[in-house]
Amino acid sequence: MSPVSKKLKKKLTVAENRLNQSGECQNCGTELQGPYCHYCGQPDKNFFRFFPALLREMMGDLLDLDSRLTRTLKPLLFQPGKLADDYMHGRRFRYTSPVRLYLFSSIIFFLLAGFITNFEIQRGLESHNTVTHENVSTAPQTDSPHKHSGIHTEITESGTPTKPPVEDETEPPTARGGDSFFKIDLNSDSGSHDIDSINLPLVPQMLNDWINVELAKSDAKNAAIEADPTIISDKIFEILPITVFVLLPAFALILKGFYIRSKRYYTEHLIFALYNHSFLFVLATAMFLLESGGSLLASQGWISKSGWLFAIFDWPSQLMKIWMLVYFWLGLKRFYRQGWLMTSVKFVSIGIAYTILLATITVFVAMLSFLLL
């Protein structure tokens, strides 16, 4: 391929130093007329270069961290429905693809949410243990003939001492009581340790047997969760990304049902769902950072929860929650092009259906996480 002209350099989507300067396509042998083969589409890239530079470009290609991402963020955050509408009208190359945008935003969100959740749990445990230790150390000490034995007896009216209550050491701590972040009690009778077996309909018997086996271990699992609540949060964040991904086709199916007369393909509803979920992940990430940052500063005593500094962290988060609802409402209006009244009715109806779906997924994730411990 001849050297790239100055006029062509301005239109290149591949930097000149990344070109292989080949005369023919190395894949199909077609004569090249630019940085891409017009027959098979393979770029004329040179991969035999300094490894750090090559690695940086490979990561850029993987995450699409180029000018298209910056062009995508503005309409994603502030122009509801524009990205999905442009995609349907063929204006795609200027923006990051919806699938890649969804994957990138969801990965960042779940990594950050998992880290912050575990950090908050550990900080809560440390605070709880500190308060408990201070209460024990400041409790008044009374002399008692049974001080060292820890056994208290009572004298009845007849003068005979009553037998002290015997604590069953074989009973797990969660069954005796105590504070716990997560606790599941599946016993049908408070005096019985036998867990009722369940038999889910339309489920293979092998799966029902496995569920019953795991439920029989609930006492031990509750004790483990009480000792370290992060084990259940870690398990939840292992399962959550996969289950949330199931929300996409389900949400697109809900849109398909409400806009059945629009004669749009299911793929169009799925593209709209991808961009809207990407928007939710980006805003949820920002909200996590703001709320956890304000909470951390307040817990350290650096700012007051009633002061204006804390409001700097709190108010943007509250506005983002309102913007989430308004964004989806305006996005429906722009993408489906119906009247304001019909859009508002469908906005409320879709919101109710999505809330029910989200609640179902949440319960499923919580129960499955407990069973998989």
Q: Across the 373 residues of the chain, what is the mean pLDDT of every consecutive 10-residue run? A: 49 54 81 83 68 62 65 92 92 87 90 80 66 58 47 47 47 41 41 58 81 84 81 79 85 94 92 95 90 72 68 81 95 95 96 92 85 82
250 and 350 both lie in a single domain: yes
**Does residue 311 fall inside a structural domain?**
yes
299 assigned to some structural domain: yes
pLDDT of residue 59: 62
Residues 332 and 244 placed together within one structural domain of the fold: yes
Do 276 and 353 lie in one domain? The reply is yes
Domain that holds residue 282: 82-122+229-371
Radius of gyration of the chain (CA): 30
In a domain, 71, yes or no: no
Q: Has residue 142 been placed in a domain? A: no
User: What pLDDT sits at residue 181?
Assistant: 38
**Is residue 105 assigned to a domain?**
yes
241 and 298 fall within a common domain: yes
Amino acid 267: pLDDT: 92
Whether residue 271 is found in the same domain as residue 314: yes
CA dihedral 169, 171, 172, 173 (to 10 degrees): -70
- Is residue 180 included in any domain, yes or no? no
For position 323, what pLDDT does the model report?
95
Same domain? For 249 and 299 the reply is yes
Number of folded domains that form the chain: 2
Q: Is residue 318 part of a domain?
A: yes
- Residues 248 and 310 grouped into a single domain: yes
The per-residue pLDDT for 58 is 63
Q: pTM surpassing 0.75?
A: no
Residue 130 falls inside a structural domain:
no
Q: Tell me how far apart the alpha carbons of residues 297 and 209 are, in angstroms, rounded to a whole number.
A: 48
